Amino acid sequence: MRLRTLGGLELVGSNLRRGAFKPLLLLAYLALEGPKPRRFLAELFWPEAADPMNSLKVVLHRLRQLEAIFADEERAWTMLECDALELREHLRTNRLSEAVNLYSGAFLEGAEGDSGEELEDWIYTTREATAREVRAALLELAQREAAGGHFAEAASSAEAAYRLAGAPPPEPEELPRFFPLLLAGGNPLAEAIKREAHELGLELALSAEVARGRLRQSFVGRVRELEKLMALRPGEWAWLRGGAGMGKTALLRRLEAGATYLPARSGLPYATLEPLLGSALSSPQALLRTLASQEGTWLVDGWNRIDPESRELLTRLRGLRSKARVVVASRDKPALEVDSLLELGPLSAKELEAHPGAYQATGGLPALVGAFLRGEPLEGVLEGRLEAISEEARAVYGALSLLETSNLATVRKALALGAREVAQALEELITAGLVEPSGTVRARGVARGWLSARPALETRLVLALVPLLPDLEAFPLYQQARALTDSSELPGMARAYKAWAEELLRRGFPQRAAETLAEVASDPELSLLRARALERAGQYKEALEALKDLPDDYEVLALKGTLLWRLGRLGEAKTMAEQALEGDSRARAEALNTLGHLSLAAGDFAHATGFFRRAANLWQLLGEDARWVGALNNEAMSQIYAGESAEELLGKVFASTKHHPAVQSKALLNLGMALEQRKEYKEAERIYLQAAASALEAGTLDTSARAWNNVGVVYHFQQRKEEAEEAYRQALALARQAGETLIMAMALGNLAELLSDVQALEEAILLLEKSGHQDMAERYKAELKELKSHLGNGHTSSR
């Protein structure tokens, strides 16, 4: 006989029918709850009877005749097979498919009847608990189906879990698990769950494609390890060693088909090996014989976490000639003799080459790789890995993640740790796969994200590290410290900012240098440096403003002269530059360069060439390569204006500007002008566009504006009117932003001529006259005269 409790209540194989409600219910209760005292059963089942014990006696007599129950003077019990008990056994031993197939309906469905309040509570509680367990099994099966890419099947299982008979409505926190499974399989229930979640204040925003990506099996790599494990012969043992997050469990799961997966379980004796031993536990020796006789593949996951009795039994089994293949996964070294030891480390770039960006984002750490492939946030996964290591190791990890280049000695000093403590922390981190032996952090971007979510720890580490680092290395951390502490006056901060800005200027990025210096409290030295950066970025008005509170020493006078020339105040510029010639080499070089430009504007090309050449010599002596190349470029420009060949000099300039986009853009501008003069318009256009892009990258707005103006001129000559207009307007916008009056006037004049706009050309002439560019103003007046006569065909390139 067999007691059926799922989907109804029936003793199959007997003549006891549904009408015998109390006897069947008593059998169900004893089958699930085990032996109980007779008085307890009488009061539970017949609480309102005149003689509950007599009622129980009658039922027991009837059931004894069927050999369905056993009883003595004190207790009653049953040994019947029961579907609910079998279901529990399937769930306990992880045979989920068998459990789901066995569930034919709600526990004791329709059997509530006249059972009394306490017994009815038991029915409902057991019904819901059983259904919850089956629902969890269905969802786990759905996850497995989705991992294999079987999304329709997964959605069907998820829907079955949602609508499961006997189960209460899912809790709000369960809905996010149902939703992606249903969505990935195109099940319409997904939309209903989304609405239900919204009503509960939960927003489930996910596309089907993203859902499939997250659910799909993300196991990659480990080909060599898989081959070795699959090649194990009966009786052979393998030990799989790796830190947390190295993919030990994922690798075992990959082998799970046809094998017995044994996750570590603690608590009751032999809990881990229970799926192999069954419920009939006996002496260790008998259990050992049971294991030794079994074949197959056993996958023991987590040697250090399994119950001691299972560990002892497996250790003794290793000394026997067993038939099974055994794979043990552990963080530790082998605790017993094995035939094969496999060490799991991070995945290599080659193993991940089929997944672009995976190695760069994760450093090959398997746990992060899986999250990356599923489109999940990596910081949460990393946090789980870090929880398994010591607090000191986490601090070392955070400090290393802040450094561009690993420096264990600096970290040791910053954290005030001993060499032994750092070595132990490093060993933890290496074992976990979080850092390389050199201390280089894997997936540093993820590590920084994890650290930034802990501002207290981040602030402590940053402030401890910055005093120990060279200025350029300290700068990024000072930026962090400034944001974390809201202070711009930390010791050493100004020095680090100055070093960083000077390096940006050396590399040809003045705009970024100026923006960097604007972040910190200013002193005279930083103000002068910022003004110099603004000047090189073409922001002349802002640069002059930065100098207004500084005393007029020779360097300040030289820079003011340059700025005043740029702003068209030529007389003042000459006065300042001539005064600066009394200063040191740097001030003299700056002043000579300005005097060269003033001579160029006056058409005195010979003097301009001489001034630029002397400036170039001084910049070279000072080791200012970018300024030296810039002066050479200006010398070439004056030669071009004088009608001389400057190709040799420009070649020298190009060879020296490979890593200086600001200077290179000016050299390109001059080359474009030479090509334009030779009427090689197509090549001139290409060079001008290259100059405009290079200048914009470097933040030199004035050079970019000049280049766009010249592009417009080339288009203008070729009768490409719409393109010319667009180029001129681009030049105007950049010139306004840079405060470059001369370029603004030239672009406006060219645009006016293109559009036959007399008023605009008159405005351009006015700008030129006010800024002191009389020669250019006269040329435009001639063009204005021609324009008024409808003969305008002259265009002005930026010189």
- 306 and 253 both lie in a single domain: yes
> Which pLDDT tens digit goes with each residue over 151-182?
999 999 999 999 999 999 988 878 888 999 99
Provide the CATH number for the domain around residue 778: 1.25.40.10
On the CB side of 254, CA atoms within 13 Å amount to 17
Taking the CA atoms of 265, 270, 273 and 277 in sequence, report the sign of the dihedral they define: negative
| Angle ∠(245,250,254) on CA atoms, nearest 5 | 160
| 712 and 766 within one domain | yes
Is 174 in the same domain as 71?
Answer: no
In the beta sheet, which residues pair with residue 10? 4
- Residue 567 domain flag: no
Q: How far apart are CA 518 and CA 81, in angstroms?
A: 81
> Are 418 and 331 in a shared domain?
no
Residue 723 has pLDDT above 60, yes or no: yes
* ∠ Cα 755 761 767 (to 5°): 140
Has residue 611 been placed in a domain?
A: no
- Strands 70-71 vs 75-77: parallel, antiparallel or unpaired: antiparallel
If you average pLDDT over each of 205-219, 346-360, 656-670, 706-720, which comes out highest? 706-720
Which pLDDT value is given to residue 792?
A: 44
pLDDT value, residue 630: 80
pLDDT above 60 for 772: no
Reply yes or no on whether the pLDDT at 81 is more than 90.
yes
Residues 797 and 668 in one domain: yes
Same domain, 676 and 771: yes
Flag whether 652 is in a domain: no
Report how far residue 34's alpha carbon sits from residue 78's, in angstroms, rounded to the nearest whole number.
8
Q: What is the CATH number of the domain that holds 43?
A: 1.10.10
- Give the range of the structural domain holding residue 179, as residue numbers without chain letter: 130-215
What is the spatial distance between Cα 471 and Cα 566, in angstroms, rounded to a whole number? 33
Mean pLDDT of 673-692: 86
Residue 186 lies in a domain: yes
Mean pLDDT computed over 650-659: 71
Backbone angles phi, psi at 200, to 5 degrees: -95, 5
pLDDT digits (tens, 9 = 90+) for 581-630: 999 999 999 999 999 999 988 889 899 999 999 999 998 888 887 788 78
As given in the structure block, the two tokens for residue 587 are 């001030």
Where residue 116 falls (left for φ over 0; alpha for ψ -120 to 50; beta otherwise) is left
pTM over 0.85: no
Given a cut of 80, whether residue 661 has pLDDT beyond it is no
Domain-located, residue 634? no
For residue 578, which of 559, 593, 590, 591 has the smallest C-alpha distance? 591
Give the CA-trace dihedral at 381, 384, 390, 396, to 10 degrees. 20
Nearest to 640 by CA among 454, 496, 797: 797
Q: What is the DSSP letter of 521?
A: -
Does 597 reside within a domain? no
In a domain, 596, yes or no: no
Which pair of tokens denotes residue 617? 């010599």
- Region 59-79 average pLDDT: 92
Q: Is the pLDDT of residue 769 over 80?
A: no
Q: What is the per-residue pLDDT for 791?
A: 46
Asked if residue 230 and residue 210 are part of one domain, the reply reads no
Give the gyration radius of the chain's Cα atoms. 42
Same-domain pairing of 677 and 799: yes
795: pLDDT strictly greater than 60:
no
> How far apart are the C-alpha atoms of 149 and 557, rounded to whole Å?
73
Number of separate domains in the chain: 5
Q: What is the DSSP letter of 121?
A: H
Of residues 799 and 118, which shows the higher confidence score? 118
Please indicate whether residue 740 or residue 361 has the higher confidence score (pLDDT): 361
CA distance 535 to 41: 96
485 lies in a domain?
no
In whole angstroms, what is the distance from residue 84 CA to residue 245 CA?
Answer: 37
The arithmetic mean of pLDDT across residues 410-434, rounded, is 89
Of 324-328, 338-342, 702-706, the poorest mean pLDDT is in: 702-706
Q: Check if the beta carbon of residue 629 is closer than 8 Å to that of residue 663.
A: yes
* Same-domain check for residues 198 and 82: no
CATH code of residue 287: 3.40.50.300
Please compute the mean of the pLDDT values over residues 386-400 and round it to a whole number.
Answer: 90
Greatest CA span in the chain, whole angstroms? Answer: 130
pLDDT at residue number 19:
58
- The answer to whether the CB of 253 falls within 8 A of the CB of 261 is yes
| CB 253, CB 144: distance < 8 Å | no
Is the per-residue pLDDT at 111 higher than 90? no
CB count in 10 Å sphere of residue 251: 24
Look at residue 797 in the predicted model and tell me its pLDDT. 53
CB-based contacts of 735, cutoff 8 Å, min separation 6: 701, 702, 705, 709, 741, 743, 744, 747
Record the tokens describing residue 396, joined without a space: 């070392």
263 pairs with which residues across the strands?
301
The DSSP secondary-structure symbol of 294 reads: -
Q: What is the pLDDT of residues 466-494, one digit of tens each?
A: 999 989 889 989 888 888 887 777 888 88
577-586, 766-775, 780-789: range with highest mean pLDDT: 577-586
Phi/psi at 569 (5° precision): -95, 75
Average pLDDT of the residues of the chain: 86
Angle at 100 between CA 99 and CA 105, to 5 degrees: 110
Rounded to 10°, the helix 741-754/758-770 angle is 160
Mean pLDDT on 328-341: 92
235 and 157 part of one domain: no
Decide the pairing of beta strands 81-82 and 75-77: unpaired
Could you give the C-alpha distances from 224 to 220, 230, 239, 240, 347, in angstroms and in order?
12, 10, 15, 13, 12
* 449-459 tens-digit pLDDT: 889 888 899 99
Q: Please tell me the predicted confidence (pLDDT) of residue 142.
A: 92
What pLDDT, in 10s, does the model give residues 488-530?
A: 778 888 899 999 888 887 765 777 888 889 888 678 889 999 9
pLDDT recorded at residue 799: 44
Picking from 114, 50, 40, the residue whose alpha carbon sits closest to that of residue 77 is 40
Q: Do 338 and 364 sit in the same domain of this protein? A: no
According to DSSP, residue 50 is labeled S
Percentage of the chain surpassing pLDDT 70?
94
Q: Is 364 left (phi over 0), alpha (psi -120 to 50) or beta?
A: left
Residues 99 and 229 in one domain: no
The 10s digit of each residue's pLDDT in 540-554 is 888 898 998 899 999
Out of 222-231, 351-360, 371-380, 591-600, least confident range: 371-380
Last residue of a domain, one of 449, 469, 489: 469
With a cut of 70, say whether residue 295 has pLDDT above it.
Answer: yes
> Among the three residues 215, 232, 260, which one is the final residue of a domain in this structure?
215
Q: Give the end of a domain, one of 115, 147, 162.
A: 115
